[in-house]
Amino acid sequence: MARILITGGAGFIGSHLAERLLELGNEVRIIDNLSTGSILNIEHLKSNPRFSYVVDTIMNQSVMAELVDWSDEIYHLAAAVGVKLIVSNPVRTIETNIKGTEIVLNMARKKKKKVLIASSSEVYGKSDKESFSENDDIVLGPSFRARWSYACSKLIDEFLAFAYWREQQVPVIIARLFNVVGPRQTGRYGMVIPRFVTQALSGKPITVYGDGSQRRCFCYVLDLVNGLIDLMAHPKSVGEVFNIGSDQEISILELAQLVKDLTGSNSEIVFVAFDDAYDRNFEDMRRRVPDLTKIRRLIGFKLTKSITESVQSVIDYYRSLGQNVILE
């Protein structure tokens, strides 16, 4: 049994990670300011005597010092998330991602606690490679386009982590997360599958941004969680960066049709220009596919659910919430 701290633990991924770590017999504490997470995500964990939570920001250094001191391992998931939030709140994005990560690493430095930092596929920027591997060069867009502030902030997080590893011997692992999907995910901040699902279930138009030809890969949340836990446990993962996600592609238009078919919805699929959805400076990526060779070689990472099964899990989740839930 280990004592494990999860920052951002009331979020979509964090709550599933906490649940799985508890199932494995660990003691888990989370900290979350509930800005994008929800107390409902962890409601079912409260009765577990090995689980506790703190509603606060990771910027509160006295609280973080106590939590890090208690822990054996730290999963750092707290960050600004979602395209909509990133575009509309660039200052919050930059400050949360960079300052928060620096606080976590500095606290971990004092007692050499192992830290897994959740980075993002966004760090690959606007590269046009068929698939992205961990040693690829980074190609970012211009600074006046807000979405690249997120990519740049997560990249700085990675530079910070490697600096603490090389200079201070803090054992760090970096996981570059590609698109993740599953129960408890919300479309409120721009996540596409829950947005499509709630639109379809409520009979509203399913809004596809752009022409729908852009392609993405979606990993089921429990596959991702098990991969993160395996990375944390493997001694050869320290000081390394890993892609983690699915490498099975689907176009956004195909995804919209899949949601419509699985829900049996009569919703119309409509197209919305990115300028109308976000702002005139928004820049989208045509493809976002990970090369998973490195993580497969180290921990045997594998996927257990198809995109159809993953989408169905989101549909089942929203249907279980009932008609009183406001569908987005």
Contact between 290 and 131 (Cβ < 8 Å)? yes
3-state secondary structure of 70: helix
Rounded alpha-carbon distances, angstroms, from residue 201 to 191, 247, 267, 325: 16, 28, 8, 11
Give CA torsion, residues 301, 177, 274, 146, to 10 deg: -160
Residues serving a catalytic function are 150
- Separation between Cα atoms, residue 232 and residue 247, nearest integer Å: 22
Phi and psi based region of residue 25 (left: phi greater than 0; alpha: psi -120 to 50; beta: remaining): left
Q: Which residues pair with 290 in a beta bridge?
A: 132
Buried b (16+ CB within 10 A) or exposed e, 134-157: beeeeebeeeebbbbbbbbbbbbb
Q: Note the Cα 282 to chain centre separation in Å.
A: 21
Contact between 117 and 172 (Cβ < 8 Å)? yes
Rounded alpha-carbon distances, angstroms, from residue 127 to 122, 133, 203, 285: 10, 11, 37, 9
List own/partner pairs for 151-154 with CB under 8 A and 24 or more apart.
151/120, 151/122, 151/123, 151/124, 151/125, 152/94, 153/80, 153/93, 153/94, 153/97, 153/98, 154/79, 154/97, 154/119, 154/120, 154/122, 154/123
